[in-house]
């Protein structure tokens, strides 16, 4: 039987009167730009065959993930938003490039399952859908690129001191749409993981 990714969260027992949820990318670490510009976007272009409109794919992905009200959303809805923006863009239409509709990805997003690779793998095994397979390959490539690229990026100034103060007075947790493996690696790299009770990544559900 598969283990429940949310088990650490469900079994958590509060020790303080107050709770503080802390996002990681863009809040504790200045990693949003490097992750999206150097890791997510090149893999979007490669794995979704957008080379012919790479300029516009990059612009759309940067807008969705960095410079819009959707900044920080889960990677899978962000991906379909990029496709939608590209489909509407006149320059892309003029080049007659076929933009993925990715209906299977949209169905996965609306399924109620946790939007992470473990649940996506289960759907791939259940359906053998080629678009879901492509999406999983892309998502795993993003994770591998991040693991290879994003190193030595310290927390923002005063994050460590703030976390230390928080830990003395509140139950602090990481609440992020980043995969848990990356969160644990990045927080451990800079020795700030002892200041939080739980590191909750995308596998544990949404931020709501």
CB 181 within 8 A of CB 205: no
Is a pLDDT exceeding 70 seen at residue 17?
yes
CATH number of 7-29+155-204: 3.40.50.1000
Is a pLDDT exceeding 80 seen at residue 161?
yes
3-25 residues labelled b (16+ CB within 10 A) or e (exposed): eebeeebeeeeeeeeeebebebb
Is a pLDDT exceeding 90 seen at residue 8?
no
* Mean pLDDT computed over every residue of the chain: 95
Q: How many helices (H) and strands (E) does the chain have?
A: 11, 3
Q: What is the rounded average pLDDT of the residues 188-201?
A: 95
Boundaries of every domain in the chain: 7-29+155-204, 32-149
* pLDDT for res 2: 57
CB 144 within 8 A of CB 117: no
Q: What is the rounded average pLDDT of the residues 23-31?
A: 95
- The Cα 93–Cα 195 span in angstroms is 50
* pLDDT for res 81: 98
Is a pLDDT exceeding 50 seen at residue 26?
yes
Under the banding of pLDDT at 50, 70 and 90, the label for residue 1 is: very low
* pLDDT for res 38: 98
* pLDDT for res 53: 98
* pLDDT for res 3: 75
pLDDT per residue as tens digits for the range 176-194? 989 999 999 999 999 999 9
């Amino acid at each position: 039987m598969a283990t429940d990714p949310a088990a650490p969260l469900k079994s958590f027992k509060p020790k303080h009167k107050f709770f503080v949820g802390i996002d990681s990318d863009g809040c504790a670490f200045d990693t949003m730009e490097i992750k999206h510009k150097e890791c997510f976007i090149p893999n979007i272009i490669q794995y979704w065959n957008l080379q012919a409109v790479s300029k516009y794919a990059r612009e759309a992905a940067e807008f969705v993930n960095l410079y819009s009200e959707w900044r920080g959303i889960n990677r899978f809805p962000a991906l379909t938003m990029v496709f939608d923006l590209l489909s509407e863009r006149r320059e892309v239409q003029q080049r007659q490039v076929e933009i993925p509709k990715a209906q299977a990805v949209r169905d996965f997003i609306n399924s109620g399952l946790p939007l992470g690779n473990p649940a996506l793998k289960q759907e791939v095994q259940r359906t053998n859908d080629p678009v879901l397979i492509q999406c999983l390959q892309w998502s795993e490539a993003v994770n591998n690129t991040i693991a290879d690229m994003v190193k030595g990026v310290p927390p923002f100034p005063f994050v460590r001191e703030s976390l230390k103060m928080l830990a003395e007075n509140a139950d602090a947790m990481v609440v992020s749409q980043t995969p848990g493996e990356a969160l644990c690696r990045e927080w451990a790299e800079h020795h700030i993981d002892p200041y939080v009770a739980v590191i909750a990544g995308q596998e544990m559900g949404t931020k709501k």
